[in-house]
Amino acid sequence: MPYEIEFKLRVPPQALPTVRKLPWLRGAGPVRRAKLVSVYFDTPKQRLRQKGVVLRVRHLGRKRIQTVKTGGDGGLARGEWEREITSDLPDLTAAADSPLAGLAGAKLGRKLKPMFETEVVRTAIAVRLGKSLLEVALDQGEIRAGRRRERISEIEIELKKGEAADVIALAQRIADAVPARFEPRAKPERGYALCAGEAAKAVHAGDVVLEPSATTGEAFRAVGFSCLHQLCANERGVRAADSESVHQMRVGLRRLRAAMSVFRDLLRDSESETVKAELKWLTEQLGPARDFDVFVRESVAPLSGTSAEMEILQKDIERRRDEGFKRARAAVDSERYRRLTLTIAFWLANGGWSTTVDPLKVAPRQRPATDFAAEVLGLRLAKIVKNTKKLDELDVRRRHKLRIAIKKLRYGCEFFASLFNGGKTRRRKLAAVLEELQDVLGVLNDLSVHRELAGEFIRHGPVEGRPEKAFAMGIVTGREQTRFEACMAAAMEAGKRISRRDTFWG
């Protein structure tokens, strides 16, 4: 399969001239400047997008270049098939050697239509680094979907010949010179979101697709980039104080932390520990916004208007929630966050965990991912089954640990699903009961968090209105106690069903 290996950075428009003038880049090699107009095609029901295939026709002067792309390994590499054609419209016969051929029924060509287009002015600089030949492309322009527009200001570093590690080395050097950010979204993804009017909406986790021949190290890299993609893709929504975007960024963080737990045998080094600590910091910055928002919506708002005391309480908690959103936005806008996302991307692509020659670390990295997945999922499920049998004996802390263990197993099942296609039905059934138990344990945890928030709120909140707020908080927490008992019963029942489920990994 032909692959394109590249790394993408997002930069402020005013930073592009600075990059062009960097002394070590200015004299690196030949410079080409061109206007590129690329039109992306799909069916009205977006069949290509659903299959993970991108089809574009690029206008380069009088030339028309048709390109088919796939997601590749989820990190630096993507499948790419390119041909010159003679028309502004796709030529499916020129894509016979690409994944598009498997989708190209007789009706597909007639259904294809332009979805969106990009227009950029590209300055391409040839760079030699070590034994590698790279191209640094500085793109400035916009994505257009009907009347909607979105600015493009980014740097693509593509490997033409040599080692992928040199792509990362050059990206690090540029990121040290200008305020660049890691950009996980390719132009097609941004174009589809713009087309649907969802450019600032929450982005959920995407599927992780692993090749049957993948090693454990390759699997971790693909999983890690999937998690990082979800994290970074929700930045815009967090800045807009969108609760669901905050939640999905937290989910991306949880998935990445879960992946580091699942693959921990590969990550026993100081670099990985630094990443783990920084992920914990970001999780803490996002927590108050989500916790207070859930408290307001699920516990306080339903009682809105029932009393003057409840109105006082609601206004105060909403103020705390808004402060949480400001804290989350400040974190995403910070230099620490910018460095963190870049560090994670560089670490996933070329970190010490993937380059060490220590035999004790190379062996687990090169192990077949299918063998590793079956072992780790089996061990984690067995531990969960053991704890669900004594669920009624667990205190708040141990129930919380069980919920986290279930969440990690669910994420693990999602990470490795593509390796075990023969067990789809068993996987869905196991996932359903795991999700049910996680949800009810999550409610139990929320109720515990709400009690803690209540105490903290009363002890440390403004003195004004404190008796009224204490009275109203008592009503809220008292009402939630009945939910606690129902959730505990549901958790016990779900726990029994987990032990009876067949596994999908053999």
Q: Mind listing the pLDDT tens digit for each residue in 391-424?
A: 888 888 888 899 999 999 999 999 999 999 877 8
Pick the CATH number of 368-506 from 1.40.20.10, 3.40.190.10, 3.40.50.2300, 2.40.50.100: 1.40.20.10
**Region class of 83: left (phi > 0), else alpha (psi between -120 and 50), else beta:** beta
Residue 226 is given by DSSP the state H
The string of pLDDT tens digits covering residues 213-246 is: 999 999 999 999 999 999 999 999 999 999 999 9
Residues β-bridged to residue 137: 124, 156
Determine if the pTM surpasses 0.75: yes
Tell me the three state secondary structure of residue 188: helix
Whose CA is closest to 429, among 377, 491, 492, 504?
504
User: What is the per-residue pLDDT for 213?
Assistant: 94
Measure the CA–CA gap between 189 and 145, rounded to whole angstroms. Answer: 12
Put residue 238 in one of left, alpha, beta given phi > 0 → left and psi -120 to 50 → alpha: alpha
DSSP 199: T
Average pLDDT over residues 450-459: 58
Provide the pLDDT for residue 476.
59
Q: Give me the chain's average pLDDT, please.
A: 88
Ranges of H-type helices in 145-269: 164-177, 187-195, 216-233, 235-239, 243-262
Q: What are phi and psi of 292, to 5 degrees?
A: -70, -30
pLDDT at 145: 96
How buried is residue 2: exposed, middle or buried, by Cβ count under 10 Å (0-12/13-18/19+)? exposed
Please write the tens of the pLDDT for every residue from 348-379.
999 999 999 999 999 999 999 999 999 999 99
Q: What is the pLDDT of residue 469?
A: 58
Mean pLDDT, range 178-184, rounded to an integer: 95
CATH, range 210-289+321-367: 1.20.120
Per-residue pLDDT, averaged over 274-287, amounts to: 96
Query: If DSSP codes are grouped into helix, strand and coil, which group holds residue 450?
Result: helix
pLDDT digits (tens, 9 = 90+) for 281-327: 999 999 989 888 887 887 777 777 677 777 777 888 888 889 999 99
Q: pLDDT of 190-207, one tens digit each? A: 999 999 988 778 999 999
Decide if 3-198 and 368-506 have a common fold. no
Q: Using alpha carbons, list the distances in angstroms from residue 284 to 237, 376, 431, 444.
A: 18, 28, 28, 20
Summarize pLDDT for 118-163 with one digit per residue, the tens: 999 999 999 999 889 999 999 999 999 999 999 999 999 999 999 9
Domain ranges of the chain: 3-198, 210-289+321-367, 368-506
Q: Are the CB atoms for 435 and 270 separated by under 8 Å?
A: no
Name the nearest CA neighbour of 115 among 39, 26, 226: 39
Rounded Cα distance, 500 and 70, in Å = 39
**Which CATH topology does 3-198 take?**
Hypothetical Protein Pfu-838710-001 (2.40.320)
Backbone phi, psi, residue 78, to 5°: -140, 145
- pLDDT the model gives residue 421: 82
